[in-house]
A and B are shown apart, each in its own frame.
Chain A
Amino acid sequence: MTEWFQGTLGYGFGWFVATLILILMIALPLMLSVAMIIYADRKIWAAMALRRGPNVVGPFGLLQSFADGLKVYLKETIIPSSANRGLFILAPILTFTVALIGWAVIPFGPKMVLADINVGLLYLLAVSSLSVYGVIIAGWASNSKYPFYSALRAAAQMVSYEVSVGFVLISVILWAGTFNLSGIIEAQRGHIFGFINGFGLNPLLFPMAVIFLISSMAETARAPFDLTEAESELVAGFQTEYSSMSFALFWLGEYGNVLLMCALNATLFWGGWLPPLDWGPLYAVPGIVWLFAKIFGFFFIFSWVKATVPRYRYDQLMRLGWKIFLPISLFWVFLVSGYLMVTRYGAFS
């Protein structure tokens, strides 16, 4: 497509238009799927509590998220008089922007990636670290107690789990030997016995896959780690003073991050756009379908956990991050690298 636009519009401008269309082809469906995933989340949650969930707006309540969005859009934007206005407005913009740009490096299929950079995983780690800024700026700029405490908690929680996420990523990079996400997916082709795709079933990497799944829930502050907006303690957390679309952007950004984390779980450990088995006929299904199926599978796990697991206390949360996940993932770096030194790179032989 890029070549066609470059042929008709000239090299530079053609590239610009083609890339812009590609970006919108990622960003707009992403926002649509965030709306639908909020609906799915509420439906799953309701079903597990033997309720019916949203069922009034549209068939089966499918248009519920859009009705909510329209309602929120027409509300007044309240900026508290004691707030730092500039930062107060910046925070939701930053949150949503960061939630969107992570998708630039996710491969949706063979060669279907917007920016095929060689340090894709490092980029994702950097972008996901940035999401803590939106939260802490929101909490600080509100100049109100609940948002402030929530922002402190959120920042400490996110950075705690980011440490073990970093070490988990190193285990994956050690096996794959590359930062490039397409390269990591290719490395998973036929990883187990030559026909099962994905690092996840590798006995050495399975514990890392579990830690990554749990850490991704903590990173995105999903239940059972949703201490940042624990309703019974902190009202609505760092979003307490927000209203209108500024409030909704936090909501959208949070679900965008959840989807990104689901996509990362699928990409790093379960083969991304590869079918589960390295078997010819399965490749007839386009890669993007496999990826979306995996993303939704992980999202179902997120919803399932949200519906069934009680919320952690803050000390339990920090203990899990620092005293359990960090030592395990640190030890696993040693274990995986030592195993690879012996088996793949032929040390001690």
Chain B
Amino acid sequence: MASVAAGYLPILLFLGVALVLSSVFVFSPMVAARFTGAHKPYADKLSEYECGFPAFEDSRAQFDVRFYLVAILFIIFDLEAAFLFPWAVSLGTIGIAGWAAMMIFLAELTLGFVYAWKKGALEWE
């Protein structure tokens, strides 16, 4: 098993390299701007952009509940996909019984999907 885990070490190292690279990209211009004189913050520059007006209201405002619904539906279907992945690689060994069991599971989820559709959870007018 050690060799399986060792396969992920390059990814860990890659993650480190990528983090360092992108941090350098973000932080070094801040330092450079101090030297070139580009760094001149003032209140109007630092206010949030709202087409030239001062912000009308707080941006942590209410938003459409449909975004929440989409997130919930996503969790259901992504979890379903997560169940399907191991099933898909082992289809040859689990045989007809394993296939049928997953098809029943898929049919049940399809029922839920049809219900959500009929309820109008997928409508964006």
Q: Are B48 and A73 interface neighbours, CB within 8 A?
A: no
Q: Are B46 and A345 interface neighbours, CB within 8 A?
A: no
Count residues on chain B whose CB falls below 8 Å from chain A CBs. Answer: 68
The 8 Å CB contact of B59, one of A73, A104, A148, A340, is A148
Q: Are B38 and A76 interface neighbours, CB within 8 A?
A: yes
Q: Are B88 and A100 interface neighbours, CB within 8 A?
A: no
In the assembled complex, the Cα of A334 lies from the Cα of B23 at a distance in Å of 45
In the assembled complex, the Cα of A246 lies from the Cα of B29 at a distance in Å of 9
Q: How far is the CB of B48 from chain A (nearest CB, A)?
A: 4
Residue of B whose beta carbon sits closest to that of A148: B59
In the assembled complex, the Cα of A241 lies from the Cα of B9 at a distance in Å of 36
| A238-287 interface with B by 8 A CB criterion | 240-241, 244-246, 248-249
In the assembled complex, the Cα of A146 lies from the Cα of B61 at a distance in Å of 12
In the assembled complex, the Cα of A76 lies from the Cα of B41 at a distance in Å of 9
In the assembled complex, the Cα of A334 lies from the Cα of B91 at a distance in Å of 12
Q: Are A27 and B88 interface neighbours, CB within 8 A?
A: no
Residue of A whose beta carbon sits closest to that of B74: A159
In the assembled complex, the Cα of A92 lies from the Cα of B22 at a distance in Å of 8
The 8 Å CB contact of B99, one of A105, A166, A330, A341, is A341
B115 within 8 A of A: no
A326 within 8 A of B: yes
A112 — which chain B residues lie within 8 A by C-beta? none
In the assembled complex, the Cα of A98 lies from the Cα of B19 at a distance in Å of 9
The 8 Å CB contact of A144, one of B19, B59, B99, B117, is B59
Q: How far is the CB of B32 from chain A (nearest CB, A)?
A: 7
Q: Are A74 and B22 interface neighbours, CB within 8 A?
A: no
| A212-246 interface with B by 8 A CB criterion | 235, 240-241, 244-246
- B18-57, CB under 8 A of A: which get 1 and which 0? 1101110110111011001011110101111110000100
A36 within 8 A of B: no
Q: Are A82 and B26 interface neighbours, CB within 8 A?
A: no
B2 within 8 A of A: no
Q: Are B60 and A143 interface neighbours, CB within 8 A?
A: yes
Residue of A whose beta carbon sits closest to that of B27: A89
Q: Are B47 and A81 interface neighbours, CB within 8 A?
A: yes
B111 within 8 A of A: no
In the assembled complex, the Cα of A105 lies from the Cα of B11 at a distance in Å of 8
Q: Are B125 and A315 interface neighbours, CB within 8 A?
A: yes
Q: Are B85 and A143 interface neighbours, CB within 8 A?
A: no
Q: Are B26 and A179 interface neighbours, CB within 8 A?
A: no
- B91-111, CB under 8 A of A: which get 1 and which 0? 110011001001100100010
- A7-42, CB under 8 A of B: which get 1 and which 0? 000000000100110111011000000000000000
A144 — which chain B residues lie within 8 A by C-beta? 48-50, 55, 59
Q: How far is the CB of A66 from chain B (nearest CB, A)?
A: 14
| A316-349 interface with B by 8 A CB criterion | 318-319, 322-323, 326-327, 330, 333-334, 337-338, 340-341, 344-345, 347-348
Decide yes or no: A19 and B15 within 8 Å by CB, A78-B41, A81-B47, A159-B71 being known contacts. no
The 8 Å CB contact of A101, one of B18, B23, B30, is B18
Q: Are B10 and A23 interface neighbours, CB within 8 A?
A: yes
Q: Are B13 and A323 interface neighbours, CB within 8 A?
A: no
The 8 Å CB contact of B23, one of A75, A93, A330, is A93
In the assembled complex, the Cα of A323 lies from the Cα of B45 at a distance in Å of 44
Q: Are A117 and B33 interface neighbours, CB within 8 A?
A: no
User: Looking at B18, B64, B123, which has the most chain A CB atoms within 10 Å of its CB?
Assistant: B18
A87 within 8 A of B: no
Q: Beyond A143-B48, A245-B29, A330-B110, list 6 extra A-B contacts (CB 8 Å).
A: A80-B46, A169-B81, A245-B25, A315-B125, A323-B117, A337-B91
Residues of A that sit less than 8 Å from B by CB: 16, 19-20, 22-24, 26-27, 73-83, 89, 92-93, 96-97, 100-101, 104-105, 114-118, 122-123, 142-146, 148-149, 152, 155-156, 159-160, 162-163, 166-167, 169-170, 173-174, 177-179, 235, 240-241, 244-246, 248-249, 314-315, 318-319, 322-323, 326-327, 330, 333-334, 337-338, 340-341, 344-345, 347-348
Residues of B that sit less than 8 Å from A by CB: 4, 7-11, 13-15, 17-19, 21-23, 25-26, 28-30, 32-33, 36, 38-41, 43, 45-50, 55, 59-61, 63-64, 66-67, 70-71, 73-74, 77-78, 81, 84-85, 88-89, 91-92, 95-96, 99, 102-103, 106, 110, 113, 117, 122-125
5 closest residue pairs by CB, A with B:
A166-B81, A144-B48, A315-B124, A100-B18, A96-B22
